Amino acid sequence: MALSKVWMSLFLIVITLAGSICEEESESKEFVVTLDHSNFTDFVAKHKFVVVEFYAPWCGHCKKLAPEYEKAAAILSKDDPPVVLAKVDANEEKNKPLASEYEIQGFPTVKILRYGGSVVQDYKGPREADGIVTYLKKQSGPASNEIKSHEDATSVIDDNKILVVGIFPEFSGEQFENFTTLAERLRSDYEFGHTLDAKLLPRGDASVAGPIVRLFKPFDELFVDFKDFDVDALVKSVEETSIPTVTIFNKDPKNHPFVVKFFNSPNSKAMLFLNFSSEHHDAFRSKYHVVSEQFKGKGLSFLMGDIEASQGAFQYFGIKDDQVPLIIIQTNDGKKYLKPNVEPDQIAAWVKDFTDGNVQPYKKSEPIPEANDEPVKVVVADNFQDIVFNSGKNVLLEFYAPWCGHCKKLAPILDEVAVSFESDPDVIIAKIDATANDIPNETFDVKESCCGCRTRIKKGGAVIMVEHHHYICGMSFREKKKG
């Protein structure tokens, strides 16, 4: 009997240990597939749907995403069929051609690759596990869902979102195929449905048999119908009508997706900033809406921003609270046009003056330093031409952000370089705060990376870009001629 108890105890210990080992193995298993230059193409080619994160090991945002991404991969691996999540170390030298091919400009960047990589889309979903799972289940399913009942319509038509519905007499033919193509192309930005019965839909002519495309939206006229089934025409119609006549920028999260669409629009951007709590708010809103209708379809999009939510924009544009109410227009070449302390009745005339070419660009600049006798010279927008282009000297110019840790590490190195060239009359070592000064975009392609800083040299009549990549070792350089 005693021996039997011993064996039972041993059996329980073995079972417990075995369960513990299995649990540890399960926990240690990585569900995110690691890809690199050697296996990326073959792996993607075998899958209809793959999600790929391009990351850098030193990137803090990547480190924060990693456990959420892994958790989502574990959950999605149990789907039928499973949804595959993968990652590529884009910081690895051998993987950089991949990063270049997929136009990776910051970390982490997540891409959705469909049909063996023939279709590539940006991931535009959440960054936490449950949100990733929900978003990718929608993205990996059908691009458009059939609406068969009023309940189906109620479940997909949200008063705060855009829905695109195709109405057809039958789910076949060229128009239906084109609608399916539209849904596949724009599925990362919109939700799609299709139906045989317009009576199931809450708005619009219920008697139409189609084919017709109806876009539901939570602003302006609430729905729009399209009859041109050319795919490119449909894409253009959906993109244009899914932006409010006047986008509202405040702290209400329901408006944020439309703000993103506003800034992603290829149009020039007119932005009116004011205090939404002001007694004049209604007058501004009414006049501004009339102006936006007047210039609709003429390459100009309109936004109205509450001063309380717009401090980031104020910092970016270099504008002050005492200039409010103000309207600023930014064109696609980066030029800005400003009308401070504007009155409601002045908006229409000023916008017309802008479109007629009668408004001078506004330039954001820090004050020109009274003394500029340090080894590293300070450049601002107002003395940029004099120091960088008109001095006749070779200029090493750093574009930096004052909050950037990498820039702070570079500062003593730049000082040392400047000291070593102090006796050379043909060389200037300089720096410009790229967050506080406008940069001539037609000459310098300054983009904010993880650290927000770039360095360029003007040498004679040419501009040479010296981009410093911030690794643990400090920095490396590459040169590229710019005209």
Question: Which sequence positions are flagged as catalytic?
Answer: 59, 62, 404, 407
Sequence-distant (6+) residues with CB within 8 A of 273 are 304, 305, 306, 307, 310, 313, 314, 319, 324, 325, 326, 327, 328
CA dist list (Å): 364 to 319, 322, 334, 437, 438: 8, 16, 11, 5, 5
What CA–CA distance (Å, rounded) separates 305 from 308? 8
Please, which residues bridge with residue 456 across strands?
397, 465
What CA–CA distance (Å, rounded) separates 316 from 310? 10
What CA–CA distance (Å, rounded) separates 399 from 465? 11
66 closest CA partner among 104, 19, 34, 36: 34
Exposed e or buried b per residue across 182-203, where buried means at least 16 C-beta atoms within 10 angstroms of its C-beta: bbbbbbbbbbbbbbeebebbee
DSSP 8-49: HHHHHHHHHHHHHHHHHHHHH---SEEE-TTTHHHHHHT-SE
**Phi/psi class of residue 68: alpha, beta or left (left: φ > 0; alpha: ψ in -120 to 50)?**
alpha
